[in-house]
A and B are shown apart, each in its own frame.
Chain A
Amino acid sequence: MNIVIIGCGRVGAFLAGLLDEDGHAVTVVDLERVAFEHLPQSYKGNTLLGNGTDLDILRQAGIENAEALFALTQGDNRNLMGAQIAKEIFGVRRVIAKVNDPIRARLYRSQGLTTISRTTILGTLLHAMLAEDPVVGKTLMEKSLAHEERLSGGTPTPAKAGG
């Protein structure tokens, strides 16, 4: 699958690493060159320096042939803009935007845009862990730790887990 990721912060880089390992063709876009240092060493996909809400940069990133786009910059508004461009202008089938403000996340979700709020998800996870919820807490933690290990090169005791 051709996948574009806008924003190469910790989350974007982590996801890029996972999808790259899964064998997808990943292009990750960021305004700052240093952001690409977040990527795991194993990453073999593309990187593109530029503004992920700019039509020409998105074209260069291959959005016209992309099956999925993730908008994961630090700015909710930029993510909403990038995601809407992907969905409405380029017709990308699967578009997900990180929107940390739960109110904005809900509003745009009600209009058909897939948004996830780190605030809500992390809060829910912590809540579930405290309640010893066997499904949400345990499963997600196990999966997350497994991913961490995979991206840190498979060493049994990850020294710099999560980047």
Chain B
Amino acid sequence: MVAGGGEVGFHLGQALLEAGHEVMILENDRRRAQFIQEQLGSVVMTASADEGRAQIEAGCQRADAVIAVTGDDAKNLVICQLAKDHCHAQRVIARVNNPKNEIVFKALGIDETISSTRVLMGVIEQELPTGGFFPLMPLTGSHLELIEAEIAPNTPAAGKKVGELGLSAYGALIGGVVRRGEILHAHGDTPLQAGDRVIVFTPTAAEADVRRSLFG
């Protein structure tokens, strides 16, 4: 079930259909719903997804996932909470527009969130030279992510041992070091050299701290 038939909801619905899933899109604007129906077929219901009754009519209880993708964070929160607590949906995923709300949603029981701002930042940071710091991927459902960082000369990390970086204080862990194309197992006393590439598991919230520890 996709809650919200805006640009994101429409294209998500289309992609899910193409991948062979059964989809129901809830859109409260009648004309928008009509447009979606013309484009995608009978996979749309004109209803406001933040109402319990509409969710039940849309078959929320037997959905494998309820995905709230409106442009309104408060609405996405309520949609997911209703789906989880009222319809006992198996899995709920919320789009958050304000990245700060990832923490809020988690505290209020919605663990799986997608922040479009953060995704875009991730893409941009991969495209731009940012001192060899590359967010590789978020780890689903965990608020952790995988980062690759290249150790440059004259940075705090060059010449230090893994254990001296103090990453564990942020809950982060160096999973491996790549040196001249070879993988080294990273122990606390593995010395880092300029040119090494480290693979770091880090809580998303601590990304900036990790960056500072490595690059100053």
Which residues of A97-142 have CB atoms within 8 Å of chain B's CB atoms? 101, 103-104, 107, 111
Q: Does B208 contact A (CB under 8 A)?
A: no
Q: Is the CB of B51 within 8 A of A103?
A: yes
- In the assembled complex, the Cα of A85 lies from the Cα of B98 at a distance in Å of 15
Which residues of B61-114 have CB atoms within 8 Å of chain A's CB atoms? 72-75, 77-78, 81-82, 85-86, 98, 100-101, 103-104, 107-108
- One of B78, B85, B103 near A81 (C-beta < 8 A): B78
Number of A residues, CB within 8 Å of B = 19
- In the assembled complex, the Cα of A40 lies from the Cα of B50 at a distance in Å of 34
Query: Which of B52, B73, B78, B82 has the most A CB atoms < 10 Å from its CB?
Result: B78
Q: Which of A29-37, A60-68, A72-80, A143-151 faces chain B? A: A72-80
- In the assembled complex, the Cα of A88 lies from the Cα of B81 at a distance in Å of 14
State the 5 A-B residue pairs at the shortest beta-carbon distance, nearest first. A77-B74, A81-B74, A78-B74, A77-B78, A77-B75
Q: Does B53 contact A (CB under 8 A)?
A: yes
Q: Is the CB of B100 within 8 A of A81?
A: no
Q: Does A84 contact B (CB under 8 A)?
A: yes
Q: Which residue of A lies closest to B85 (CB)?
A: A111
- In the assembled complex, the Cα of A111 lies from the Cα of B78 at a distance in Å of 13
Write 18 A-B pairs (CB below 8 A) sorted by A numbering. Answer: A53-B74, A53-B104, A55-B100, A56-B100, A76-B78, A78-B74, A80-B78, A81-B73, A81-B78, A85-B104, A85-B107, A88-B107, A89-B104, A103-B53, A104-B50, A104-B78, A104-B82, A107-B86
Q: Given A76-B50, A80-B77, 13 more contacts at CB 8 Å?
A: A53-B73, A55-B104, A56-B100, A77-B72, A77-B75, A80-B74, A80-B78, A81-B74, A85-B104, A101-B51, A103-B51, A104-B82, A107-B82
Which residues of B37-73 have CB atoms within 8 Å of chain A's CB atoms? 50-53, 72-73
Contacts of B73 in A (CB 8 A): 53, 81
Contacts of A101 in B (CB 8 A): 51
- In the assembled complex, the Cα of A77 lies from the Cα of B77 at a distance in Å of 8
Q: Which residue of A lies closest to B108 (CB)?
A: A84
Q: Is the CB of A54 within 8 A of B75?
A: no
